[in-house]
Structure 1
Amino acid sequence: MTKPVFRFAPSPNGRLHLGHAYSALLNADFARRFDGRFLLRIEDIDITRCRPEFEAAIYDDLAWLGLRWEEPVRRQSEHFADYRAAFLTLKKRGGVYPCFCTRKDIAEAIACRKAEGGEPWPRDPDGAPLYPGTCRGMPDDEAERRIAAGEPHAWRLDMATLQKLVPGPLHFRRFDREGREDIVPAHPRRWGDAVIVRKEIPTSYHLSVVVDDALQGVTHVVRGQDLEAATDLHVLLQALLGLPTPGYHHHGLLRDPEGDKLAKSRRSKSLAELRAEGVTPQALWRRLGFDP
């Protein structure tokens, strides 16, 4: 039997904080418990925000923690061709359509619908309003003309069509630190017609992570609860692309005294700052509930 494969996959758009340390240590702990492999992946598809100095800092921070990972490290920015091939497979199956809407277009369309119906507009699991379907059903010749003219566009999943392409309910395997497992239903329709290729980037988080996990043979995905709902979309993409579905474990999030999750955008204290204050890796391991 092949060994279980775990991965820690940060984005180099800022310095790692305690929340990242917990997720990395938890993945390494799972790999040790299950006699598995531990991979590091750099998720840098957003080339406008990701920076080389942050990537270098990831390696330094994880090495300071005492973690070791297999080489070579997969960098997403070097594999856009893989994501393009997956997108073309989805396109061939008829499960996507181009969307030319701006955020303003979408907001105005939703406002008109709400004025007509009066009901609260549905939202996706992240709290964003569901796409109103403005470009769904656009004639192919019009879409091709606008694409050929260089008009900016994203590509969205067509949930109505996908329901026919993937009949029957979708499920995934959930596991815990003791190795217990159960089967959980996936509900991708609650995301609406989600963006699968962004306007400014020739892929998306959802598409690239599914492709990477399959190509790297990842068998167990350990990540935060903030990505639990995204698993719905990932299971759907795996079914459409004929890829294996790993098991999933979504861990609790570390929070600040105000109850907000630690985040780069909130300038949560970084591991580098903790290190400068004299915090040792051993103390940090114990603080996060691991044996050094």
Structure 2
Amino acid sequence: VKNMTSYIPFILDAMCSSSTVEVQELGLAAGTPVGTSLIDAHAGGVGIIEIVPVSDSSQKAMLPEYWHTEGEQSATGTLLDYMLNNHVAAPHLANHAASKSISTFELLNKMLESMMNESKAPFLVILTEDLHVLPDFHGNWSPMADPVSKGVICGLTLDSSKKQLALLYLATVQSIAYGTWQIVEHCNSHRHKIDTLLACGGLAKNQLYIQEHADIIGYTITLPRESKSVLLGVAILGAVAGKKYSGFRDATRALNSAGQVIYTYGYLAMFGLDFGSFGWGNLHRGGRL
């Protein structure tokens, strides 16, 4: 793998030429520059970052000459879909959302806000003080790299109402946020300096999802001005291939910019640390039984 990374610049140069048979078969005119392909997550990364060089730039992953540390969870959006679709109240919730011409997630977010107001809770996390989820339903990719870890739901009752589904949805969102918190803490304990998060993709459009992440992780989250970061990342690849910019550094600085900033509520930091130190560890032990 180490030797293969040295070939990436040459691969990029080759992809920027349309003289190959493959490019001609696409119907492009001779000389049309073509940027290399990236997976959607990496293209989204290109469409949101402003490149900051590091001291050792010998490694190449997402972009030539830059480090790429990748911490992933095994399931996020898929896990939310699984939780919602396998609940007995799911059809009723879907019909209710359709009658209001809103998405299921929008309805759930509104329900949780109403439940918080009705219970006079100061913030959403109080609603799930007795309901916790470990999101390792497909193993744990980061930071434990444990493929046999299992998902856990702790605090279930016989309640099968739409309100209970809303709470399960919230607990799942929070579990994903705690998983991200765990990755960030692991990176920072190994000489990374993460103090701000950038978010893109479909889940970044869910205000509750992003706010819970900011509150639980304890850092500000910045959303991009351009919501379709994956498409912008692909456009940046094309712009660099077409020599519109001298390189990715100039292109990302020119085309990427910050949008909405999601601030964290400081009073949740201690709560998050407490659960992360004790409850999260207990759930992980349960997921390995």
- Pick the TM interval, shorter chain: 0.3 to 0.5
TM-score norm. by structure 1 comes to 0.36
Larger proportion of helix: 2
Larger proportion of strand: 1
